[in-house]
Amino acid sequence: MKKVTIRDVAREAGVSVTLVSFVMNAKMGKDGRLDCPVNPNTAARVLEVAKRLGYRRNNAAASLRSGRSHSIAVIVSDLANPLFAEICRKIENIAYKDGYTVIFASSEENPDKLAHLVETMVGYNVEGLIVAPCLGGEKALERATSIGIPTVLIDRDLPGTDFGRVLVDNVDAGVIATKYLFHQGFGKIEMISYKLGVTSLTDREYGYSKAMEDAGLKDEIKLHRIEYDADLAKKGVIEIFRDASKRGAEAFILPTKKLAMYGFNALNVLGLNFPKNFSFVCFDESDTYDISKPVIPHVVQPISEIADKAFALMRKMIDGTVDQEERNVTLKAKLILGGRFGVDPTEAIF
């Protein structure tokens, strides 16, 4: 079947190609009318003809003509990660209300894949990028900023002055998690992290170490870094818990939801339980934390704020209305005690 063109629609509707272009590229106003300089009855006739003929607007061509695609890309390490999935969902909703389409992708902690994704998004003519970067992703994102694509970093930081940033104070998050365990009477506190080297984790590690040292417990600092691969990570946590139970460790900080799940798995495998053998402070939100008795304390990031502020900063960068001070936004995490199932959540202050 022959593809229907804009000329076919113009000929059938008895109007010019330019007029059809005005109608097909117009946005719908709040009053339900198309925002274009065309008589409403004529515009309605053009839309009816286009629908009847099966005409489809070529968005790529329109984007090239106008220089505007009204699209952005969000690239995170793993779209299956509940934290990133929730941030992406909220950004999509905010962007939709502002007339933007969002393209999502995962780097899988691979800088080469990130570079490929950035080049792909450049080809799609996206107007901006919101990225949770992987280690080694500087060159790929500097490539985007060098050709004028506004780029906002979330969750993790990278060196560079051209990026916008909406980050959480993860040093403080590590400190409050550790101080809570001090408050519970524990001194033999350990932390399990990944070997990834991303700043969200290294900052939490620093916060843990700082709190331990400030409390006079420098010699008790035990920071375990394991492989990111799921199978290796599960085995690694089991071995750490097995050894820790012999050493008399009292509590663990598990700074991602995945690490927390590996921790619960290790308890089951080894026949241990929470909180008899080990107490935990975990990160992000999970039904598992809530249905445990007692409810597991967990550090919660302000997901809605991250999404709101990342998109708002992105729009200002696209419009060229952002000043240097506005480019860097730092948010605070909260330590939550309690959960959604029968125990009212409360914030712990330290």
Question: How buried is residue 130: exposed, middle or buried, by Cβ count under 10 Å (0-12/13-18/19+)?
Answer: buried
Q: How does residue 28 score in pLDDT terms, banded at 50, 70 and 90? A: low
Q: How does residue 16 score in pLDDT terms, banded at 50, 70 and 90? A: confident
Q: In the prediction, which pLDDT does 58 show?
A: 62
Residue 103: partners with Cβ closer than 8 Å, 6 or more residues away: 71, 72, 73, 74, 121, 124, 126
More confident site: 329 or 33: 329
- Find the mean pLDDT for residues 28-35: 63
- Find the mean pLDDT for residues 291-314: 90
* pLDDT value at 64 more than 70: no
Mean pLDDT of the chain: 89
Q: What ranges do the domains of the chain cover?
A: 6-57, 69-168+304-331, 170-301+337-348
On the question of a common fold for 6-57 and 69-168+304-331, the answer reads no
The DSSP-derived string for 196-227 is S--HHHHHHHHHHHHHHHHTT-GGG-EEEEE-
* pLDDT value at 199 more than 60: yes
Bridge partners (DSSP) listed for residue 34: 28
d(CA 177, CA 281): 6
- Find the mean pLDDT for residues 16-39: 73
Q: In which residue are the tokens 């117009």 written?
A: 26
Under CATH, to which class is 6-57 assigned? mainly alpha
Q: What is the topology classification, in CATH, of domain 69-168+304-331?
A: Rossmann fold (3.40.50)
* pLDDT value at 90 more than 70: yes
Minimum mean pLDDT among 115-119, 124-128, 212-216: which range?
A: 124-128
What pairing do the DSSP bridges indicate for beta strands 101-106 and 129-131?
A: unpaired
Q: In the prediction, which pLDDT does 338 show?
A: 65
- Find the mean pLDDT for residues 184-188: 94
Please give the model's pTM, rounded to 2 decimal places.
0.79
Burial 272-293 (b: 16+ CB within 10 A, else e): eebeeebbbbbbbbbeebbebe
More confident site: 61 or 26: 26
- Find the mean pLDDT for residues 175-190: 96
Bridge partners (DSSP) listed for residue 337: 346
Q: How does residue 27 score in pLDDT terms, banded at 50, 70 and 90? A: low
- Find the mean pLDDT for residues 97-110: 93
Which range, 30-44, 186-200, 275-289, is most confident?
Answer: 186-200
Which CATH architecture fits 170-301+337-348?
A: 3-Layer(aba) Sandwich (3.40)
Minimum mean pLDDT among 68-72, 216-220, 278-282: which range?
A: 68-72
d(CA 47, CA 63): 20
